[in-house]
Copies of this chain bind each other. A is one copy, B any other.
Amino acid sequence: MGVSIDDVAAQAHVSTATVSRALRGLPRVSEATRAKVFSVAAELGYVPSRSASGLATGRTRTVGVLVPFVDRWYFGHAIEGIDQVLRENGYNLLLFSLGGYLHGQKRSFTESMVRKQIDALLVLSLGLSEEELRQLHHTDIPLLSVGGPVNGCRGVYIDDVAAATAAMDHLIGLGHRRIGHLRGGVQDEQTFRVPALRTVAFEAAMARAGLEPRPGWNAAGEFTVSDGMQAAARIFEAPGERPTALFCGSDEMALGAMFEAQRRGIRIPEELSLIGIDDHDFSAPAGLTTIAQQPWEHGRAAAGMLLAELGGTAGAVRDVTMPFELKVRRSTAPPPREA
């Protein structure tokens, strides 16, 4: 069914080797020959077989992307950026989603998943076990993390401690002293470090400002709207005075808190200031103050480095710290007078 290189060679009256060289833009092919080959190939609708060239070269021109979820803000946008760069360079993107940070059998991916079918792997915000890392390094394809530090592997991401600190500085600068914390990512803290980094920064900022975190003002959950809602509800229902501001581990949590506050008639920002991290698509419309990051740029940068490395630039894969930016919107203001 398929048109093969031999068909093109026959039709163009040259050898298969020449067709191969011509089509791949290699030197040492006369312009006349090259033109002829191109026209015949186009005419026949020839498309090279990836399997065959993969087998012959040992390279698949495919990059694997391992993600915990595809249906979450950061990941969707990062994948978009990765895809762009890959496609621009003729690479394919093979997607592996874990559908959650599950451990166990679903994670027996590394060995079989990776070997012999991808030239490089991008790991998105995902903690890897020692064993997994060992296996991945053993296959010795370039490896790079996006969105958060992964043990023993270079990465592209923002400085989460600095970002969270900037958020806290904003709150403290406005005069808040009763600051609560919606902590995220409790499920996988050993391996996925971003939520913990943000929490550490929160605590450090509190200490630096001479403020004491109160247990009743602290609630945890995953980085999702519904967990944000529930966590906020717990804080709102805790006895004693309410915090005047909430530092949220992610915008999704902050938005959940915002919905919950609205439902209870707690006015934002008059009675409660809210700040998140990410700049989720919903944040600007909702008027949420946040620390913005740009996952698609992370994806682009990471994919670019990986391709450079594959292209022969040894050491192209480096740790890169991406910028973040405070976006002040309607959800933060000085605390109420009486506070």
A residues apposed to B, CB below 8 Å: 1-2, 45, 47-52, 54-55, 60, 62, 65, 69-73, 75-77, 79-80, 83-84, 87, 92-97, 99, 111-112, 115-117, 140, 224-226, 228-229, 255-256, 259-260, 262-263, 281-282, 284-287, 330
A284, B226: Cβ atoms under 8 Å? yes
For A71, give its contact among B52, B77, B286 (CB under 8 Å): B77
Known: A51-B51, A92-B117. A285 touches B97 (CB 8 A): no
- Would B115 and A47 count as touching, CB distance under 8 A? yes
Are B47 and A116 touching (Cβ within 8 A)?
Answer: yes
- Contact partners of A224 in chain B: CB under 8 A: 281
CA distance A196 to B256 in the complex (A): 32
Taking CB atoms, residues of chain B closer than 8 Å to A72 are 76
The answer to whether A95 and B93 have CB atoms under 8 Å apart is yes
Measured in the bound complex, the distance between the Cα atoms of B25 and A148 in whole Å is 40
Cβ–Cβ < 8 Å partners of A111 in chain B: 45, 47
Name the residue of chain B whose CB is nearest to the CB of A226.
B285
Given A51-B54, A92-B117, A285-B259: A71 touches B73 (CB 8 Å cut-off)? yes
27 A-B residue pairs with CB within 8 Å: A2-B116, A45-B111, A47-B112, A47-B115, A48-B116, A49-B55, A51-B51, A51-B116, A52-B55, A70-B79, A71-B73, A71-B77, A76-B76, A80-B97, A83-B99, A92-B117, A93-B94, A94-B94, A95-B95, A224-B281, A225-B282, A225-B285, A226-B285, A228-B285, A260-B285, A262-B262, A282-B282
CB distance from A270 to the nearest CB of B (A): 13
- Give min CB distance, A155 to chain B, whole Å: 21
- A191 vs B255: C-alpha distance when bound (angstroms): 34
Docked Cα-Cα span, A83 to B69, in Å, equals: 10
Q: Is the CB of A51 within 8 A of B55?
A: yes
B71, A97: Cβ atoms closer than 8 Å: no
Instruction: State A70–B117 Cα separation when bound (angstroms).
Output: 23
Residues of chain B within 8 A (CB-CB) of A260 are 285
- Contact call A83/B60, Cβ cutoff below 8 A: no
Instruction: Please give, as numbers and ranges, the residues of chain B lying within 8 Å of A96 by CB-CB distance.
Output: 83, 87, 93
Which residues of B lie under 8 Å from residue A52 when comparing CB positions? 51, 55
Closest chain-B Cβ to A166's Cβ sits at a distance in Å of 25
Cβ-closest 9 pairs across A and B: A71-B76, A51-B54, A51-B55, A47-B115, A50-B117, A49-B116, A83-B97, A259-B285, A95-B95
* CB <8 Å contact, B79 and A99: no
Write out the residue numbers on chain B whose beta carbons fall within 8 Å of the beta carbon of A77.
71
- A308 smallest CB distance to B (angstroms): 22
CB distance from A182 to the nearest CB of B (A): 14
Give the residue of B45, B70, B80, B259 whose beta carbon is less than 8 angstroms from that of A80: B70
The distance in angstroms between the C-alpha atoms of A339 and B225, with both chains bound, is 35
Q: Are A83 and B70 also in contact (CB < 8 A) when A116-B47, A255-B282 are?
A: yes
**Within 8 Å CB of A286, what residues of B?**
259
